[in-house]
Structure 1
């Protein structure tokens, strides 16, 4: 399904097409449906910001946003005297693995964020999202962009960020390499990488040693290779296999990319490649728009853009990029102070505060009627109108299956034969499907 966004100076982001809500819910596949025992705390209407008092934990993985949230929290505690908010920030991979248990225990996360897909489904199935439907807070958001947080008549989580999970570019380096137009097919993309390498920079800096960020490139590489847009759901169900010709074709393209990546790409974490990109040693940072602010904080002064590798032949691409609505904010059902947690969520949902957060972090947000004061957001706003696919890697509910599929790509970059890497991955997937 092709999905388009429109953008105005006020930051109004909408998805064209009535089927978006259906596809996003399908990507979550499970919570609150098919006999799930999903429960919630006291009805959301009982939550009252006026009763905000005492201390809460705000759990998330966006360490690069700490300063922006600190500023908002300072304003929050001024608005609500007697409150205190502690940010509990965990690296994304650890958060993916451990947040559910920590939230369940009540040690962190009165207000918490959840990844779209597997983590959202697991937290919902555990009954840890308070249903916010009766509060009316969802009306402040673009409905089409928060649909994966809506399960039946429940409002469980509010996806706060609209991000583009695709490489960030140093526009000066691309222009110096002769890229007057962005490549829209595979051969043209490889030609651009050749030109960049010839200019003495690393064309594509990729954090292959960090699964959570390495997998963002997977979104781009698979978007025009798969037989259908629900490809990862079908890999997980067994209908598609990573040993299928189309998946191996994608692995071979990873092989073609390898000479254009930095040395030891499969052993590199995200921080070194951010520094490499910020200092002008690399032309592209293969993560996503969510790292633009971090790169600015490292001193980057060049104009930034976005460019996904399009693996198709000329004129054959369905999509030119990837988007995702993520960072789903929810109030914990085991919180001892849910009114204060909801009060902070209520404040974050105000257009002025959401715009403050977006401008400070370089993030588009899903709140209605937001305006931004960010050169980077303005420079990349054109991507809100392009043909982009909702990030498919988050269709996986079973993280072992996702890691196997994405691990095959990492293995190929590390030198493995594509067919053998696919067979090894499929063996793990079959075990998971059969268990």
Structure 2
């Protein structure tokens, strides 16, 4: 994660990855059966983290040096493409001897298709913290290993907070709005919000609902038709978004801001907070950000009423492809990544907290935010939705209010119509 800014699409287009136009268009993937040359020790690793390529290249070299005759090639797609097309690419075994999955809808789809090899009996599973790899388990089996422990909550510029006279982080909604006013007084946008990118505009949703949901699975209940976005609790969430929009907490033109633009704003200290998560700290460093960082979970309740301080997610779920004929080599690569030396190299090289036990973080950003692993955080609720159409409708309602294109009641009604149609209850 160094050098000049480069978004994922440009990276894939320009780098020396084994990703062709045919692969991106759905016409085919690299080589013969996954792994390329038919060698039982040559496997393909399929994922979406283009920004991690340099670190993975080094890990592959180390893996090959320690395991004579083995080889790993990578196929990397942009995350949005990966989410929509990965299953069809891996289920016939032509790519992804080892693959990754997003927590939630994609994991469930791949599990249902029978593409995960059960890893429950693998010795390397014990290398992981049990409570954070549960999103990779289903029906009593450990189908995949969530590798990354991310915090889907705003990251902030410590220097701007200090300059604005911010001491302790606010513990209620009035305090958070006051914080935003102080930051506005510096002439910067309090929050860089990627309203033009649905995948990341929805990250703020996690914190906005974490202390408002009447039940731990309220988002799942919306998808089941047992709750509605027109319910009082969700209307209150939308009202909080309206508060932020009304007081100018988001940058001008936030409705059209893409994630790369929001990261750049934050990296250039034109915004004090970036409303995505720890997974974009490295990208900001690529763009020259030199300030200290930390995390903040907006508390939407009155003082003393909050249950959670922030949000975490276990994702980048490593899986061995049950359709692959190269099970032994695939398991060996996952075992290598699960070891402490490789995990520490990956974590510190990519600025990603991991789920592997007892890691030492030498990266300053990881060290600064590591304490959040022991704080009261909620597993990211946006991934309770398995139906992406319903999730998009819910999150779009929030984005519309945040960007001033709809009022809370109007946005809720429109979203509920889509949800009811999807559920067949309209």
- TM-score higher than 0.5 here? yes
* Distance in structure 2 (CA, Å) of the matches to 1:266 and 1:99: 29
1:384 lines up with 2:373 in the alignment: yes
Structure 2 counterpart of 1:218, from 190, 205, 213: 205
- Cα distance in 2 for partners of 1:145, 1:413 equals 31
Superposed CA deviations along residues 123-176 of structure 1, whole A, max 9, x for unmatched, are 000000011123222111111111121223422000111111001100000110
Partner of 1:422: 412
Is 1:189 matched with 2:176? yes
CA shift for structure 1 position 339: 2.1
Distance 1:397 1:152 in 2: 17
The alignment status of 1:131 with 2:123, answered yes or no, reads no
1:116 aligned partner: 103
Deviations 1:343-385 (A, max 9, x none): 1111000011111111111111111222221111111122122
| 1:399-430 CA distance string (max 9 Å, x none) | 11111110111121232121111111111111
Kindly indicate whether the alpha-carbon contact (under 8 Å) linking 1:53 and 1:80 is maintained by their aligned counterparts in 2: no
The corresponding residue for 2:24 is: none
What does the per-residue CA deviation read over 1:234-279, in whole Å, with 9 as the maximum and x for residues that have no partner?
Answer: 1111111001111111111111222211222121111111111111
**CA RMSD in angstroms, aligned pairs only:** 1.5
User: Could you give the per-residue CA deviations for residues 208-255 of structure 1, whole angstroms, max 9, x where no partner exists?
Assistant: 111111111000001111111111111111111001111111111111
Matched, 1:433 2:420: no
* 1:272-291 deviation line (CA, Å, top 9, x unaligned): 11111111111111110111
Structure 1: stretches of 5+ with no match in the other structure? 1-51
Report which stretch shifted further, 260-269 or 401-410. 260-269
Please say if residues 353 and 370 of structure 2, whose CA atoms lie closer than 8 Å, have aligned partners that are also in contact.
no
1:394 & 1:141 partners in 2: Cα distance?
21
| Residue 311 of structure 2: aligned partner | 322
Contact 2:400 2:411 in 1 (8 A): yes
Going from structure 1 to structure 2, the CA distance change for 1:366 and 1:247 (only over 3 Å counts) comes to same
Q: Give the distance between the partners of 1:177 and 1:59, measured in 2 at CA.
A: 44
The aligned residue for residue 22 of structure 1 is none
1:289 equivalent among 264, 271, 278 = 278
* 1:205 to 2:188 alignment: no
- In the alignment, what sits opposite 2:25? none
Measure, in 2, the Cα distance between the counterparts of 1:296 and 1:266.
Answer: 25
**Residue 163 of structure 2 aligns with which residue?**
176
Structure 1 distance, partners of 2:400, 2:252, is 15
Counterparts in 2 of 1:42-191, with a 5 A limit?
53-191=40-178
Instruction: Give how far 1:53 is off.
Output: 4.7
1:342 aligns with 2:331: yes
Structural mapping, 1:22-41, within 5 Å: none
Unaligned segments of structure 2, at least 5 residues: 1-38
- Cα distance in 2, alignment partners of residues 356 and 69 from structure 1: 9
The 8 Å contact of residues 356 and 372 in structure 1, kept in 2 or not, is answered as no
Separation in 2 of the partners of 1:165 and 1:157? 21
Deviates more, 1:169-178 or 1:101-110: 101-110
Q: Match of 1:283, SS? A: strand
C-alpha distance in 2 between matches for 1:87 and 1:182? 42
Aligned residues: 384
- Secondary structure at 2:181 match in 1: helix
Counterpart of 1:269 (choices 242, 251, 258) is 258
Secondary structure of 2:46 counterpart: strand
Which sits farther off after the overlay, 99-108 or 127-136? 99-108
* Aligned mate of 1:241, from 211, 218, 228: 228
Mean CA deviation greater in 301-310 or 127-136: 127-136
The reply on whether 1:308 has 2:306 as its aligned counterpart is: no
Correspondent of 1:374 among 347, 352, 363: 363
